[in-house]
Amino acid sequence: MLSTDDIQRASDLLWQTWQAGGVIDHLPAAMKPETRSEGYAIQARLEARSAALLFGWKIAATSAAGQAHINVTGPMAGRLLAEKVVAEGSTVTLGPNRMRVAEPEFAFRMGRTLAARALPYETAEVMAAVASLHPAIEVPDSRFLDFTAVGEAQLIADNACAHQFMLGQATSADWRAIDLARHPVACQVSGGPVVEGSGANVLGDPRIALKWLVNELTGLGVALKEGEVVTTGTCATPLAVMPGDGFSADFGPLGRVGLNFA
């Protein structure tokens, strides 16, 4: 079991690596998390690094293919730091980002707090606490040289590969009347082929993914707070991006979002 000092040292190393744009092979044995809980304990220290309130949460590995790609058994939660949120239509510098992909995602902003509790939340209860639905784009990255080999505990410690995030405008459509699982999303890089996806790629339904996140947090004794945003995972195959590319995601009546890369 990791000590408090071990947890802090692991967090320090991952944070310093992130800020420097570097990579490590793995965390040293003395501070390596062996369980998801230890990974989350390391990740939790990130919040103290930010000068702003926590912007929200991301969910990684929400599809079977995504889980297989990074060799994990299920989804993982990560923190969205306010300093890593970019404005819609921004030009994002890829710099040392090695993943170099963009992901179209359904994101929810919470209208009220869901406190941690022993009884699991149901989907209807979670959705009743949502204020708005947004199209969004995530640009992930990892602080590990081979993120497919380090295992889920270290990936959770590494903030579930969170990096940059763009939140689109809240949709004005009646999204609660839409079957989000069947809702199509089309994305494209710089005039290349259009790649299609849907909400079904996100644990079967973005609403189910949001419920998963709430219950994952409540199991850690963490509340999902009013105003926080949850982005539910990529609903299409992540598209490779390079400097000079533009990425767009069309959610139909729910909105359209885009980023440029430098």
How do residues 85-106 score in pLDDT, each as one tens digit?
999 999 999 999 999 999 999 9
Residues 6+ apart with CB under 8 A from 83: 50, 51, 52
Residue 164 confidence class, pLDDT cut points 50, 70, 90: very high
Tally of domains in the chain: 1
Closest C-alpha to 116, from 23, 224, 194: 224
Rounded mean pLDDT of 154-167? 98
Query: What is the spatial distance between Cα 232 and Cα 200, in angstroms, rounded to a whole number?
Result: 11
Query: What is the spatial distance between Cα 89 and Cα 148, in angstroms, rounded to a whole number?
Result: 31
The pLDDT of residue 189 is above 80? yes
Tokens 């009884």 sit on residue: 119
Residue 64 confidence class, pLDDT cut points 50, 70, 90: confident
The pLDDT of residue 76 is above 80? yes
Tally of CB atoms within 10 A around 172: 10
Residue 71 confidence class, pLDDT cut points 50, 70, 90: confident
- Residue 43 has a pLDDT of 98
Q: Are 136 and 257 in contact (CB under 8 A)?
A: yes
Residue 92 lies in a domain: yes
The identity of residue 71, as a single letter, is N
- Residue 130 has a pLDDT of 99
Rounded mean pLDDT of 194-220? 97
Residue 66 confidence class, pLDDT cut points 50, 70, 90: confident
- Residue 117 has a pLDDT of 97
Q: Are 129 and 112 in contact (CB under 8 A)?
A: yes
Query: What is the spatial distance between Cα 76 and Cα 162, in angstroms, rounded to a whole number?
Result: 11
Residue 2 lies in a domain: no
Residue 5 lies in a domain: no
Q: Which domain holds residue 115?
A: 52-261
The pTM for the full model equals 0.97
Residue 8 lies in a domain: no
Residue 6 lies in a domain: no
The pLDDT of residue 147 is above 80? yes
Residue 175 lies in a domain: yes
Residue 89 DSSP symbol: T
Query: What is the spatial distance between Cα 174 and Cα 254, in angstroms, rounded to a whole number?
Result: 9
Q: Which two tokens stand for residue 83?
A: 């300093």
Tokens 């926080």 sit on residue: 228
Residue 3 lies in a domain: no
CA atoms within 13 A on the CB side of 99: 21
Residue 40 lies in a domain: no
Q: Are 13 and 31 in contact (CB under 8 A)?
A: yes
Q: What's the CATH number where 153 sits?
A: 3.90.850.10
Residue count of the chain, please give it.
Answer: 262
- Residue 73 has a pLDDT of 87
As beta bridge partners, residue 234 has: 105
Query: What is the spatial distance between Cα 245 and Cα 259, in angstroms, rounded to a whole number?
Result: 9
CA atoms within 13 A on the CB side of 190: 12
